[in-house]
Amino acid sequence: MTFNSVTFLVFFALVLGVYWMVAPRWRNPILLVSSYVFYGWWDWRFLGLLVISTLVDFTVGRKLYRAKTDRRRGQLLTVSLVVNLGILGIFKYFNFFVDGAVDLLNSLGVEANPTTLKVVLPVGISFYTFQTISYTFDIYRRRLEPTNDLIAFGTYVSYFPQLVAGPIERAQNLMPQILDPVRSFPDDQGRREAARLILVGLIKKVVLADGVARLSNEAFSQADSASAVVLVVGVVAFAIQIYGDFSGYTDIARGVSKLLGIDLMVNFTQPYLSRNITEFWRRWHISLSNWLRDYLYISLGGNRSGTLRTYRNLMITMLLGGLWHGASWNFVIWGGLHGIYLVIHKLMRGGEVDPSEPRWSQIGSILLTNVAVLFAWVFFRAANFTEAIDVIVGIVTLRGGSAERYDVLILIGYATATIALDLVERRRSVANAASIPPRRFGPMTSGALVATMLVAVVVWSGGTPVPFIYFQF
């Protein structure tokens, strides 16, 4: 069940109607049941993993809060980490590490045969695992008190708008809203904002991401023979695709959640307008960036133990951040490249970020940042290391060959639309920060614009919903 399907439209309409008709005390049970139905739609067998994570961290959180000694608190935190990371490791990384060990032994002359598990990767396991770990960690650090409401905590873990692709919410933000007994139906402004988020999210996903995907797929499928022009078009197309797909999901999740009276955090703020790589990571997948900073980078020592250890901690954090995306060396390389970028930025500029909004006079820095990001995207998108090298070699050597000029024009159209959306969102954020209401169109113009966007979503969808890219992570 995906946000861009008729099935979800029917499902959410039913949930929303029942949710607001019942007494407040029944809303969390309805959310919990709805979330389990939503997740079980893919494979009901994996509901057991949600139950295990919920019961373990609910129990550990309460015992951790009451623990008297640091030793006991450390033991309880270890239980949470072992269970959650153990589940994640088995379902996501077991085959990856077994294959790696077998390759190493064979290279040393020791004959070994792999023993792999034939399991399906549970949708969204990386997201809800990190969310439950953060809950236990915050209690351990005495930043959070545990809840005694198992239904509310179960809702926090499995909340369906953000369950399978984020944002990775913190208990400090989401739990108080879930526990609020008097949350009310959004007012006119809230409903308009929810509708805007859902519509813009669908445009990003169905029109931009799914529309431009063909250019990326064609380029990478012929990585060893396509011309440099085709490969550049494919790499840029993928950058647009993954941004539209992932940020579109987040927009829809936030819009759907607003209609339930709950606010989710912003996960993207125009990342391709970033002037350096540090700023990029403050604008791209913000919930993951913050999670890695707070629970991994700081736990490793952050920048408290000297320059070299700071760089080491950055590299470890980004390498593991890359591995979080999937069991592939390509993701590790992608994370490592971003770690190197961050280290270079710290060396050159101290890692400082200009707090002001990007200006046209800074276009050079923006383009340079995007070139670095695009280079790393090659490894993220490629099926394997060989394919990634084929793409890079084809571009660097200016490989000749035919190139469909209309594809270049199509890419320019998609890039222009993406930049235009980002600039509009940037203008809205600046206006809201300054408490200036954005300029509104008249009713006729607004109606025509909304109708055009809805028609575009229907036409581009082709009647077959395409899954979101981050469902595989």
- Check 285, 325, 338, 345 and give the catalytic one: 325
Q: Which pLDDT does position 402 carry in this prediction? A: 76
Measured CA to CA, the distance from residue 329 to residue 380 in angstroms comes to 10
pTM over 0.85: yes
pLDDT at res. 3: 86
How does pLDDT run across 92-101, given as a tens digit for each residue?
A: 877 777 666 6
CB count, 10 Å around CB of 346? 18
For position 60, what pLDDT does the model report?
96
pLDDT under 70 in the chain at which residues?
98-119, 429-447, 462-463
pLDDT of residue 465: 77
| 325 given a catalytic annotation | yes
User: Which residue type, as a one-letter code, is found at position 122?
Assistant: P
Q: What is the pLDDT of residue 104?
A: 61
Instruction: Identify the residue whose tokens are 């509901």.
Output: 47
168: nearest Cα among 125, 121, 204? 125
pLDDT of residue 102: 61
pLDDT of the residue at 100: 65
CA dist., res. 140 & res. 103, Å (int): 39
pLDDT recorded at residue 431? 58
Q: Packing angle between helix 228-259 and helix 210-221, nearest 10 degrees?
A: 150
| Ordered alpha helix ranges (H), 141-202 | 150-158, 171-179, 188-202
Q: Do 172 and 143 meet the contact criterion of CB atoms below 8 Å apart?
A: yes
Distance CA 259, CA 93 (A): 37
According to the model, what pLDDT value does residue 434 have?
40
